[in-house]
Chains A and B, each alone.
Chain A
Amino acid sequence: MAQIKVEALDKSFADFHAVKAASFTVEDGEFLCLLGPSGCGKTTTLRMIAGLELPTAGTIRLDGEDVTMNRASARDIAFVFQLFALYPHMNVRRNIGFPLKCEGIGAAESDRRVVEAARILRISHLLDRPVSGLAGGDRQRVALGRAIVRKPKCFLMDEPLGALDTEMREAMIHELRALHDRLGATTVYVTHDQLEAMAMADMIAVMNNGVVEQVASPRDIYDRPASLFVADFIGSPPMNFLPFRGNLQAGAQAIRLGESDVVIPAAREGLPESDLVLGVRPEHVRFADRGVVRGEVYGSEYLGTTQIVTVTTRYGALKARSPASMSFRIGENVGLDFRPDTLSIFERTSGRAIRTVLHEGGAHG
């Protein structure tokens, strides 16, 4: 098993700057998700770690050893792709054993490892079946089996669940995480699906336009987003943003929003008057007749235990997560309050989160 250290990694394709000074460390046995929208550079970063692309600048260390310019085959890693390319003419056993055959490992040892991999993935009963008749989830398990028989130092996975339908994906999320807990292999996993990342990762690196905007635990990413982009990308529905203009003194415990004072986590830095944004998660919006913001109910979406209520206000449409037992009329005039200790404040132009007591509690400054 291994630690992966990526330092100031850069990659350009002709005029296109795909990855810009990406740095992060994946500790031995850790599960890190590279998360971001399509085109953000996450797959390119993964391919550089694998050795399928060479970086323009920067270094990649595997257990301290500089492997930046090593061939993919010399890196002792296993790659699992989104589209599981299985050999259609081979059965499950031979598909899983194929990488071992290529490495010239003896039949007895190979067979032992294939049986072991199949047991871990709970596909022992399928070993002698042709792969062509398998369901999507089982095909993906075979693809995983082919990666784990090699006992590599680490796994790199590029949206391995992207081709599965919702239900199978949810089941596989838990299976993959359980597999990781059993094997303890260092894993880098690329996805654009925040729920996958939140459910599986120990650490998440959020990428946008080639830049790693934040590396932190799922909880910190959610509770203490480092930028507007991260706050907007994570969460369903995403964080509400209320633009306002104001200044901030170090130690301030409230901001002025329209005619109201809104209590915030104490500021740890001061700012001259500028364009700022108040960020509130939907579950931290409460209905209160004397709330700091007023608006009109635009619609509500029933979700069983909870509902999402959309309210049109002078700051735009705000979403609140409420118990499903509350009832609302479209067009109803309501007041909204925000849970003070959870609020974030951002600089509008740079998108940077302002340092507050809340944001200092996290792993980043």
Chain B
Amino acid sequence: MAEVEIRAVSKAFKKTQAISDLSLTVADGEFVALLGPTGAGKTTTLRLIAGLEMPDRGSIRIGGRDVTGDAPADRDVAFVFQQYSLYPHLTVFENMAFALRAPIRRVPEVEIRAKVREVARLLHIETKLDNKATQLSGGQMQRVAIGRALVRSPAIYLMDEPLSSLDAKLRGEMRLELKRIQTDLGATILYVTHDQTEAMTMASRIGVIEGGRLLQIGTPREIYENPINAHVAARLGQPAINLLPASLFASVPRGAMTVGARTEHLTIARSGGDVQATVKRIEHLGDQSHLHLDLGGQPVVTLSDPEAKLGAGDIVSLRLNKPLFFDADGGRVAA
């Protein structure tokens, strides 16, 4: 494992600027998630580190060595793709051992066997080693694909939405497993996703990326509690943060045009708050209920206290409790 550093990298595809002046360091043993929508430049960043694309400007260093001009094979990285492409005619064992058996690596057979078994155990597929890769369920196949990367000990694992093809339940289980494995192995991982839950639950740090630019990087808690602008604030949190015109509230800091209020910033009572709102409906999503309010024509969605006996048409009183403030351009304003 090693530190990976991207310095001021830019990359354009014809007229499209995919990455603009992006700098990012993934420390040894760290799990960094790049979070952003489709087209934000997440996958391009991974491909630049892997050497599958060449940057127009800037440099990439792995373990202190400049690898910007190196071929992918000389970079010591392992890539896990969204679509697992296993060799259908080989067994699970052979699929996982494949990379270790490459002639340039010259890994002794005994070592290969030991390594594959160890990784298979971590991924709970040790009983499937002799199965054909095609006789597995989707979740098992994705684990083999991850396993194929884990048997190597590269400088960094680059993972491109590896869980997105799994169903919701399996994805939930794999999140916890992957995080455990990363901690146990002390692996360095750069993981890209558009799923905020994956980023929040697994990453040591999240980099929020949009339009080829890194907007903010920090621990999940920092990004969630202390976003630098309204855009980042809206990327994390379910239900999404309510961005409300500051004019609805009596006292806001100078320059604040927008008030950002999450569930934990809102106290709902029958009376005595700062502003009044009308209950439009309560959406029961099972584990959570979303309370939909109308606040002076603005929709507000917050988690509803299951014990609160509220119904459509009820008038409630809202009090702001240390919310976030943003200026006209969406930048944070100190409270």
Contact = CB atoms under 8 A, between A and B. Distances in A.
A236 B238 contact: no
Interface residues of A, number: 31
B287 A236 contact: yes
A299 interface: yes
Given A165-B194, A192-B167, A237-B172, A303 B200 contact: yes
Nearest to B292: A174
Interface of A: 37, 165-167, 192-195, 198-199, 218-219, 222, 234-238, 281-283, 298-299, 301-305, 308, 310, 321
A40 B60 CA distance: 49
Contacts, number: 74
Nearest to A301: B201
A195 B179 CA distance: 25
A340 B221 CA distance: 33
Contacts of B197: 303
B57 interface: no
Given A167-B37, A282-B287, A321-B287, A303 B263 contact: no
A304 B220 CA distance: 8
A302 B287 CA distance: 16
Interface in B235-253: 236-238
B176 interface: yes
B168 interface: yes
A96 B200 CA distance: 41
Contacts of A218: 284-286
A299 B31 CA distance: 15
Contacts of A199: 283, 285
A166 B238 contact: no
Given A165-B194, A299-B176, A299-B180, A305 B284 contact: no
B221 A302 contact: yes
Q: Give the most central of A281, A298, A301: most B CB within 10 Å.
A: A301
Contacts of A299: 176, 179-180
A301 B287 contact: no
Contacts of B179: 299, 301
A194 B284 CA distance: 12
Given A194-B168, A236-B168, A321-B287, A303 B238 contact: yes
A303 B284 CA distance: 19
B300 to A, nearest CB: 14
B284 A219 contact: yes
Nearest to B171: A236
A302 B201 contact: yes
